[in-house]
Amino acid sequence: MQSKLSKNRKGAVKMKKILAVVIGLVIVVALVGPFGSGYIVESRVTKLLDSLKESLPANSVKYGKLQRGWFGSDIKVSIKDKSIAFEAVLHISHGPVLLKKGSLIFGLGYIDIKVTDSKSKVTGLGAIKEILKQARIDIVLNYQSTVTVDATINKLVKPIEIEKIKVSQLNNFRFNVNIELENEIGKSLLAFDEIEIISGKTKVVVNQYDSAMTFLKSQKGASIGGTFAKIRSIMVNYNANGKSRKITLNGLHLKTNTQAASGKISQESLIKIESIAIPGEKLLSLKIPLSLRKLDEQQFARYEKLVSVSPLNVLELSKVITLLIAGEPEISMDKTTIKLGDKEATMTFMFKGVPLKKGDIVGIFNFRKVIYFKLVVDTPKTVLKDLVSLVNRLVNDFSNLNSAGSSMNASDDADGTIDRWISTKFITKSPTGYRLQLEIKDSKMSINGESHKSFLFP
């Protein structure tokens, strides 16, 4: 019995020693960890701010020296443009243990942004200040060389005005991005329930927007990845010719997938609008498939680097574009469909790069030589008349926004437009309706098989 009690006492003493060691380690990590994290935080924050500088107009972003403490650091950032001048103080709490939204998390650092108020007019970059002031923003620096940004706005406290445009409502806005700073790869999510934008007497309301994006780098440094976005509806309300107008777009979808294989970039895209409703007009729907093939991976990576820096090296950019075209890249639209009522028009096109002679560089005077383009449009007679009538009406409306003037007879004008196109051979009659065939080849343009001269193609 005594032997058993003795063993229990020894076991308890051993557990207490282990517990003391664990507690000691936790205390050491809690006290020493933030000090070590502070050094890593400095380089990560600098990279983050450098990325911000590259994405905004030149010389608009400046930042001071990071003031590093034991448990936290501070750095001042200023954004200055013609219309805006304000400062923000970034306070970075050092990890490894951080407090985020009332919960303990593990990470390198947590950034809190405090914006200094200014009297600047909210135009251009000024919108950034208003968004920062109204959004809940959480930025976490992770030990895996990544940064995670969460931004949310449940409801706007006050409208955001950007020049003559006012964002009057923004409900349940959510943005999340996780990116590896060193390689600029990661993923992002953006969504909101509703946004209302007003310009003059025109109001646009977008409902249920959701999008996701992955951004990766190929082996040669070119941007690849995928995008998905959908919108439940967009409603446009405006006044024209003394009348209230409304356009409703339902079921908008966008999907892209960009890949690299065998030294070439390829991309497949699809744009769809399930319905476009305009009172007095037939229901319209749209489907646009796009393909990109045979884009040189290495030269495209060079192109991306060149256009990301300021000032732009025009000569070097022209050389890279020449090499891209030398690979004979292709952009094609296999079959776009525009459905109006129960009938539809179709459109296909092909754009292909044509290599120049060795030693030549693409420029203003020889751009015609590098283009091969072919467009074919087939449409039933009633669809073309309805489309021209619709376009004429919208052009007339938007030319007379907030005007009390009288509107034209769009249907009568459509007949006149189609007759002019036939007489000038811009379109030809086919057994099922009308056809347009446009081709650019060997620096010359032809329409429906006949040579056609213009300012660009004399």
Full pLDDT tens readout for the chain, 458 residues: 555 545 555 555 556 555 544 444 444 444 444 555 656 777 777 777 777 777 666 677 788 787 776 677 788 888 776 656 677 787 777 766 666 666 666 777 777 777 765 555 545 555 666 676 777 888 887 777 778 888 888 888 888 877 778 888 999 999 998 888 777 788 999 999 999 999 888 899 999 999 999 989 999 999 999 999 999 999 999 888 778 889 999 999 999 999 999 999 999 999 999 999 988 888 999 999 999 999 999 999 999 888 877 778 889 999 999 999 999 999 999 889 999 988 999 999 999 999 988 888 888 888 888 889 999 999 999 899 989 888 888 888 777 765 555 555 555 588 888 999 999 999 998 877 999 999 999 889 999 999 988 777 77
- In which residue are the tokens 């090499």 written? 323
> In this structure, what token pair is assigned to residue 178?
């996780």
> Does a cis peptide bond (omega within 30 degrees of 0) precede residue 355?
no
In a domain, 190, yes or no: no
Cα four-point dihedral sign 33, 39, 45, 47: negative
In a domain, 264, yes or no: yes
In a domain, 177, yes or no: no
Q: Where is the domain boundary, 92, 123, 154?
A: 154
Residues 257 and 139 in one domain: no
Residues 110 and 255 in one domain: no
Cα→Cα distances 379→370, 376, 387, 432, 450, Å:
30, 10, 10, 8, 20
Residues 147 and 266 in one domain: no
Task: Supply the range of the domain harboring residue 82.
Answer: 1-154
List, in sequence order, every beta strand (DSSP E) within 95-222: 97-100, 103-106, 109-115, 136-141, 146-155, 160-162, 165-180, 185-199, 202-217
In a domain, 194, yes or no: no
In a domain, 185, yes or no: no
Neighbours of 120 (CB within 10 A): 17
In a domain, 182, yes or no: no
> 3-class SS at 137?
strand
Query: Which DSSP letter does residue 203 get?
Result: E
Residue 175 half-sphere exposure, CB side, CA atoms within 13 Å? 14
Query: Which DSSP letter does residue 401 get?
Result: B
Is pTM beyond 0.95? Reply is no
Q: What is the pLDDT of residue 30?
A: 46
How many domains are contained in the chain? Answer: 2
> In this structure, what token pair is assigned to residue 338?
């525009």
Nearest to 326 by CA among 304, 303, 349: 303
Residues 134 and 253 in one domain: no
In a domain, 221, yes or no: no
d(CA 193, CA 135): 15
Q: Where is the domain boundary, 106, 138, 154?
A: 154
In a domain, 18, yes or no: yes
Long-range contacts of 28-36 (CB under 8 A, 24+ apart): 29/96, 29/97, 30/97, 33/94, 33/95, 33/96, 33/97, 34/70, 34/71, 34/72, 34/94, 34/95, 34/96, 35/70, 35/94
Residues 4 and 149 in one domain: yes
Cα→Cα distances 146→41, 179, 405, Å:
12, 5, 58
Residues 149 and 274 in one domain: no
Residues 273 and 148 in one domain: no
Q: Where is the domain boundary, 125, 154, 183?
A: 154
Q: What is the pLDDT of residue 103?
A: 66
Residues 437 and 292 in one domain: yes
Amino acid at 54: E
